[in-house]
Copies of this chain bind each other. A is one copy, B any other.
Amino acid sequence: MNLLNTVTVDEAKNKIKDVFSDVKLKEEKVHLLEAVNRYLSQDIVAPIHVPGFHRSTVDGYAVIARDTFGSSENIPSFLRYRGKIEMGMEATEFIGSGECYYVPTGGMLPMGCDAVVMVEYTEVLGREICIQKPVSPWENILKKGEDLRQKDLLFKKGHRLRPQDIGMLAGLGIIDIPVYEKLSVSIISTGDELVPPTKKLNLGQIHDMNTYSLSAAAEADGCCIIERVIIEDEKEGLQSKIEECIAHSHIILISGGSSAGDKDYTKEVMDRIGMPGAFIHGISVKPGKPTIVGKVKGRAIFGLPGQPVSALIVYKILVSSWIKETLYGAEVIHPSIEGTISVNIPSAPGREHYVMVSIKEEAGQTIIDPIYGKSGMLSMMAKAQGYIKIHTNTEGILKGDSVRAFLL
């Protein structure tokens, strides 16, 4: 049995960044309605001034501000009513001293006006409008280009488009959105004991979980799953499957066979296919120590542990963050929640330790409970709402400590 030559999580992350710094993603254009959750491949700048005209932010009367100075409920000003600006129409009217036009919220202002008095502070008296409150110049007006000037940067390259961003782009009339191609991912589960969930189990067999959980996780990160396959622990089969996947995948995830046991072929096969082969074997993290990262024919191959919980944790901390932050170049805020840990959690220094947790609200406090279980227990995954990270250089955390749980 060979020993693993472990690196820290941060070393692994940096090495992965370096080794794959030559990966360039293609761009494509997608329709706005297909663009949510895609990553921008170009900066988006405003193609037009927004608003494109001086616009009222209230329902009221467009006026010349100085005509209202000094007015009050007791001593109102009186302005001649010249008419109504219609929503959506160009206002070609010109306002003179002592005059006003009714203008709805969002309506274009007539020329010459420099403020809008809210309808609440006015009264209609025949052909005159009685103004009961003064307005300052430019009050209740959104000026042309005040929201966005043409060429203002709106979204940076790499930004992942959220629902509200789709609205923004619509507002700017941008319909064809430049995004990065979806990364192609192939997922291989290795193990003689694995059978697909569609088949009945014999004794000694288990249903494959990892192609399912990993493909759903990679899809959530904006990848496209090319292949999902179970293969036996057998060198030739693994090699030909990897070679097949290399042809059409940016990333290949292999679960199982990543340790240093006598049936753990992933590293050997990776090295055999091409240079540089495996460049990381073993990460000082719990769970997830037996992890392999390699580069073969320009493609990234991750050998993840076979245990479903470990495979998912390593995917999250190593693969997912690399995909989103480096390959797509997104700024990621990892959703998390602060809470109080309910028990002591000891941890051996010298490795990062990830603990699955459940989260509950109790008397206005957020309580975070670790979920324990034996290696490979899948019920842990169902119960876990998140995980906490115990840093390399600590001996654990104490009951009552404030911790941040990252949501799963």
Name A residues whose Cβ lies closer than 8 Å to a Cβ of B: 1, 32-33, 36, 48, 50-53, 55, 57-59, 86-91, 104-108, 119-120, 142, 146-148, 152, 154-155, 162-175, 191-194, 197-217, 219-220, 233, 259, 261, 263, 306, 308, 312, 333, 335-338, 359, 373-379, 381-382, 384-385, 407-408
Contacts and interface: CB of A to CB of B under 8 A. Distances in A.
A146 to B, nearest CB: 7
Given A91-B204, A171-B207, A142 B59 contact: no
Given A104-B261, A212-B32, A338-B338, A204 B308 contact: no
A401 to B, nearest CB: 15
Contact of A53 (B204, B220, B233, B382): B204
Nearest to A90: B203
Nearest to A202: B90
- Which of A165, A206, A220 has the most C-beta atoms of chain B within 10 angstroms of its own C-beta? A206
B382 A154 contact: yes
B201 A173 contact: yes
A381 B164 CA distance: 7
Nearest to A311: B167
A171 B308 contact: yes
A374 B168 CA distance: 16
B378 A107 contact: no
A74 to B, nearest CB: 22
B88 A36 contact: no
A193 B281 CA distance: 61
A213 B192 CA distance: 48
Contacts of A338: 338
Contacts of A233: 87
B170 A207 contact: yes
Contact of A171 (B169, B197, B335): B197
Nearest to A338: B338
B333 A170 contact: no
Contact of A206 (B106, B155, B164): B106
A174 B193 CA distance: 18
Contacts of A382: 154-155, 164-165, 168
